[in-house]
Each structure stands twice: as structure tokens, then as C-alpha cells.
Chain A
Amino acid sequence: MTAKTLYDKLWDAHLVQQRDDGSALIYIDRHIVHEVTSPQAFAGLRIAGRKPWRVDSILATPDHNVPTTIKERASGVSGIEDPVSLIQVQTLDDNCDEYGIVEYKINDLRQGIVHVVGPESGACLPGMTIVCGDSHTATNGALGALAHGIGTSEVEHVLATQCLVAKKMGNMRIDVNGKLGEGVTPKDVVLAIIGKIGTAGGTGYAVEFAGDVFRDMSMEGRMTVCNMAIEAGARAGMVAVDDTTIEYVKGRPYAPTGENWEKAVTAWRELTSDEGAHFDAVVELNGADILPQVSWGTSPDMVADINATVPAPADEPDAVKREGMLRALEYMGLEAGQKIADIKLDRVFIGSCTNSRIEDIRAAALVVKGRQKSSSVKQAMVVPGSGVVKAQAEAEGLDKIFVAAGFEWREPGCSMCLAMNADKLGAGEHCASTSNRNFEGRQGYGGRTHLVSPAMAAAAAIAGHFVDVRDFVRS
């Protein structure tokens, strides 16, 4: 038998039918649904008089539009002030009620960002194919699953047929070996990877993250890395199953139990790339070389080490890239040669499907504890990824640490990651953000996003500008 990659195994196990034109029907085990990309899909289903193929394979929760202040959340859907947001959230409720789809509604303790809720609930498991009308679905690849985002017409297709028409991607492996330095987090690792291969480096590939660094990483850290596979152009990112994976899944609400658990674990143990399996591309980084990262531009590959300076477009030989850098610096209001540590922040956002899990909140709290938000920072908010994360953090007293330091402690949702609700940046404001996209206007019209890890964001909130979190924690 030929040696297979993890992706090959997942693909083969879900192949319903290979077609002559190279496309294939792939069976989908888990479908996660949120309010923004599903309404027309449900409407299409209704017009055609169809029903979801397997209702109990679907889990829904509203996240993009939900307000994150207690005040606006108090009266549930009807309390949402933006009428368009209200309709979208209400429509999700109506559709789920009509078809009998399980939905964690707005004030359900289990509600949260789709990509946090999926793994946390055990709805997403190793070896599954997982889709959601959202490009960060690759987060679930951390479980050793094939997970990626789909469009609205595909949402309808999966609802109706439990299958996706897909073409097999290439195999890419990204090896990060060695040990990470103190204060260097999974977010820094993935930003460094994107900085190295660029935002199209993974285009057309399913990426497996391999090497010591990922083996040593927690599940939540692996999720942070897989989450941003799409920022490197790859629709799917994944990490092979090991003890860490199985420990993480054990006991989750939807995890298998009893005899099925034993069988599942046996099957999951196979979810690694075989010795000698062929990869179409391999990228290598040395873990020990990675430093805390800060993005300075308007694309996730425009990153620099914390102790570096803003790069000079003049030094860039490629004309197209140079043009892009010039435009980015102009938009960001930065000068070439300026120290990254001198960038002053107006707001700080700790949250999003990249970094809003309990370990992220703990890492930020550790930095914040006993300190105060800088008076020059207008707002620092912490938005947990789900009600479950929020409850856990509160049980550990983390919310009090933030509030005492002058941070806002919010209700779960996407929030300022994409500014679809009321949480937005003002024009020209610089934000240290733990999210995944620093595109122009992403966090609000004219807003300037700097992507960082939770610890780096917390430290920046205290200092009022970027600081090397490693010195900061030691001091």
C-alpha cells in the first residue's frame, strides 16, 4: 500500500464518488451554521421543497452579529439594536426551529463563535469532515479533521445532500521543529509562518502542521495555528492526532462514550501521515528562531519581530510588493524604520476565533494581573469565544483581573474582529488585536489593526504601545 498523508486518509475516507472531470462528491460529517451565510441557503431549500439530509449532523449558533454588552444582550434577540443584525439572528432562530436543528441561541451558555463552539462541545471530532459557511472553519483541523469554509450555495448543497462537490487539493507540510522561546505563543508561530510563505503560499494546498513545536503545543494552540491557515491561502490546515488530541476530546458533551469511545480512539490513532508519504511542498521553520510577532501592514504576511523596525519599501526588490508596502504604510500611518515598539495603541481587542479560548484569556490575564491599562489606551476589551469560556474564566476570577485593570469584560461573539456589531475602531485608530485579519477597514472604517498574541495585546494595553512581552513579564 502506498504511504498516505493525513489529508489523503481523510479525503479517501469521505469519498462518495469520484467523477470523470476530477471533481468528487465528499461526504460531510458535521455542518456548523451561523446567521450570516445561511439565510439564503435555507430559503433555497424551502423554495425547492427540500429538507436537510441529516438534521442531527448540524449545529448552529449566532456569533457575527450578536452584541457583546450585557445591556444589549439582556433581552435576547429582540434587544439587538441594529435592525439588520436583529433580522439575521432572528432568521437563524426561525430556520433552526422550523427544521429542528440544534441551535445554541443568543443567551444560551453554550453560544459562541462557531469555531470555538465546534471543538469545545465535541461536535467536531477527529477524523470528521467539517464545513461551515465561514473561512476560518479550518480551526477544527487541529483535531485531525478535514475542515474548511464553504459559500452560501454550498451551504445549501450540504444541507440538502450531506455532500460537497470538491476537487482534491495538494499536500503541503509545514515543519516547525525545535523549542519555542519563553513568551512565544502559537499565534507568533502562525504569524511567522505566514510572514515566511505569504498570503498565497498555501493556495491550493491542504496544510499539515508538523514537527516538535506542534507536538508540544496544546489543542487550543493548535486551533490558533489551523485557524489562520486561510491567511496563508490554504483552505484547510490540520495537525495529526496524538495523546493531546484524545485527551482534549475525552468527556466533551458530544464525544463518543463507552464502547464507541474505544473504537473511535483506535481509529483516530491512525490519523497521522504515514512514514514516507508524499508531500507536494514542504516548508521548514526553526521554532527557536521565532520571536513575538506584530503585524505592521494591511495583510497578515506583513509582520515583524517585536524588537524590529517597520520595514522600508525601498529595500523590497519586487515592484508589486513594494507598491503594496507603500500603500500599507500610508494606510497604517507608519514610517519605514520606525520601531515596532514605538507604535502607540488606541484600542486593544482580545478575542476572535483565533484567540478567545480559555488559555488565551489566561495568558492575557497573567500579564494584566496587578497592573493598569494605560490612560492613553481608550478601550481594552476582552471578548471570550463562548459562554463556556466566559464561565470558566469567571470561575477562575480572570474577569475580575481584567476589570480591576480597566479592561472591559464582554459577552461572547465575534465582536470587533469584523465589526459587524457595534464594536468598531474609529478612523485612524491603532488597535492591538488578537484576531486574524488586518485588512483595510476590517475592524471599522479607517481602523488600523495590528495582529498579535493575547499576551502581547495585554502588554500593549498596559504600556500604551507595543512591548516585548518577555521583558514585560520578567520586570
Chain B
Amino acid sequence: MKSFNRVTGIAAPMDRANVDTDMIIPKQFLKSIKRTGFGKNLFDELRYLDEGQPDQECTGRPLNQEFALNQARYQGASVLLARKNFGCGSSREHAPWALDDYGFRCVIAPSFADIFYNNCFKNGLLPLVLSEAEVDQLFSELYANEGYELTIDLPSQKVLTPSGAAFSFEVDEFRKHCLLNGLDDIALTLEQADAINAYESKQRESAPWLFDAVKN
């Protein structure tokens, strides 16, 4: 998993409440055998004017110019500014996969749906809760300033705005530790690599046939 320490990037608005995971990534894209490549279909129904099909090349599709992510000023955004109850609906892990694949590292909202919130942490994406008033303030600053960037500093748990304001946020200690170090379940097991290696060496000695290679 990608680690998350301090991220500075353009913020893009997703200015509506109750954005569900179906909106984040519609169901027809779940047939994929991959965990990557969902970025081009992130917010597919809002982003394009036609109906998206799995495995479709998206470059020639008609764009909804009204939609923020299609506007020049938000290109390359890595922070998504959103409204309350973001990520509700189906539990699909494809939602954080799609946000991550698009390039987002952090979603800021006044509240998140539970499962989505959990899924984000498993994928190196930071779901960050600020108060409604703070989120309102960020929205108005963002609309007023082209190229508006936010800095998310996880160690100090602060969101820093271009004007120098700092908003504090809460995050569970263990999750913070995992994000800072890029630790997922696998990473946690890999922290025990020495133990695994030691076990292997001992076994190679006593039961070498277990290590005969599967060959073609």
C-alpha cells in the first residue's frame, strides 16, 4: 500500500451530499478482473454524456463540461472536497480503487459512510472529516481561487490552506500508523519477514523436499 505522509495538491469539488458508491463507480464496471484501471470510469455517469460500457476506450466519449473533473482548473487534482455521507450505498471496494486510480489521495467531507471509510484505509486513501463549517469555508475558497491547493499533513493531523489557516482532524492511531508506513495486512505480515525467513531456513534444512521447485 502507498504510504501517506504529507500530501499537497489541487483540490476538486464534489459539491453534493450522499454521493453513493454506484455514483463513484457504476456497476457495469465491476465485472473487471482487475483492481486497477477504474480511474477512467470514476463518476462515469456524471462525467460523460453517454452510457459507459466496460472495456470501452474513454478518450473519444462526449464529456459533460459542467462536471468539475472535466474543467481545466481541476486537472491533476489529488484532494477531493465533498459533502456529507460520502461513499454510501454498496460496499464495493472498487470505489476507493477508482478514486485512487484517478489520482486522489484524500477525500475531505463532513461525514463518510462506514464501509467506504474503512475501505479507503485499506487502499492508502485518506478519508478526512472536518466540520460542516470548515468544509463550507474550503468550498468557497476553492471556487474563488483557480489552482487552489490544500496540504494534508498526517503526522500533525492538519489541513493547511493557501492563506495559512490550519484545520485539525482526527484519525485513529492504528490507522494513522498504517497509513504513515503504508502498511496493509500484507505489509504487517511482511514486517515479520525475518521470522518467515528464519522459518524457511530451518525447514530447508530439515525438509528440503518441500522446497523443490515447481518446474515446467
Contacts and interface: CB of A to CB of B under 8 A. Distances in A.
B209 A16 contact: no
A475 to B, nearest CB: 48
B214 A161 contact: no
A68 interface: no
Contacts of A256: 209, 212
A58 B214 contact: yes
A254 B207 contact: no
B195 A16 contact: yes
Interface string B192-216: 1001100110010001111111111
A363 interface: no
Contacts of B184: 48
Contact of A44 (B35, B190, B196, B212): B35
A162 B193 CA distance: 10
Contacts of B199: 16, 27
B185 A264 contact: no
Contacts of B213: 56
| Residue of B33, B36, B203 most packed against chain A (CB within 10 A) | B33
A29 B36 CA distance: 29
Interface in A39-88: 39-40, 43-44, 46-48, 50, 53, 56-59, 84, 87-88
A125 B208 CA distance: 13
B196 A47 contact: no
Given A17-B195, A40-B33, A91-B33, A161 B212 contact: no
Contact of B207 (A43, A58, A127): A127
B190 A46 contact: no
Contact of B33 (A46, A53, A59, A87): A87
B1 interface: yes
B216 A102 contact: yes
B207 A123 contact: no
A102 B214 contact: yes
Contact of A27 (B187, B200, B216): B200
Contact of A254 (B1, B186, B214): B214
A59 B214 contact: yes
A162 B196 contact: yes
Interface residues of A, number: 42
B189 A165 contact: yes
Nearest to B184: A48
A29 B203 CA distance: 10
A322 interface: no
B190 A161 contact: yes
A285 interface: no
In the complex, which range does the number of interface residues on chain B fall in? Answer: 20 to 34
Contact of B189 (A84, A87, A157): A157
A161 B196 contact: yes
A156 interface: yes
A305 to B, nearest CB: 43
Contacts of A39: 33-34
A250 interface: no
Interface string B174-188: 000000000011110
A91 B34 CA distance: 9
A176 interface: no
A163 interface: yes
B200 A125 contact: no
Interface in A160-177: 160-163, 165
A271 to B, nearest CB: 12
Interface string B1-24: 100000000000000000000000
A29 B214 contact: no
Contact of B210 (A25, A29, A88): A29
A267 interface: yes
A369 interface: no
Contact of A267 (B192, B207, B215): B207
A267 B205 CA distance: 13
A161 B189 contact: yes
A128 B35 CA distance: 31
B209 A88 contact: no
B189 A163 contact: yes
A48 B186 contact: yes
Interface in A88-143: 88, 91, 102, 123, 125, 127-128
A40 B35 contact: yes
Contacts of A123: 214
A44 B211 CA distance: 26
A43 B192 contact: no
A128 B196 contact: no
Contacts of A17: 192, 195
B195 A48 contact: no
Contacts of B212: 254, 256, 260
Nearest to B1: A48
B98 to A, nearest CB: 13
12 contacts: A43-B35, A53-B196, A56-B215, A84-B31, A88-B33, A123-B214, A163-B196, A254-B212, A260-B209, A263-B208, A264-B207, A264-B209
Interface of B: 1, 31, 33-36, 184-187, 189-190, 192, 195-196, 199-200, 203, 207-216
Q: Which 5 A-B pairs have the closest CB atoms?
A: A56-B213, A39-B33, A256-B209, A43-B35, A161-B189
Given A125-B210, A260-B208, 14 more contacts: A17-B195, A25-B189, A27-B196, A27-B199, A29-B210, A39-B33, A39-B34, A40-B34, A59-B214, A88-B33, A102-B214, A254-B212, A256-B212, A263-B209
Interface of A: 16-17, 25, 27, 29, 39-40, 43-44, 46-48, 50, 53, 56-59, 84, 87-88, 91, 102, 123, 125, 127-128, 153, 156-157, 160-163, 165, 254, 256, 260-261, 263-264, 267
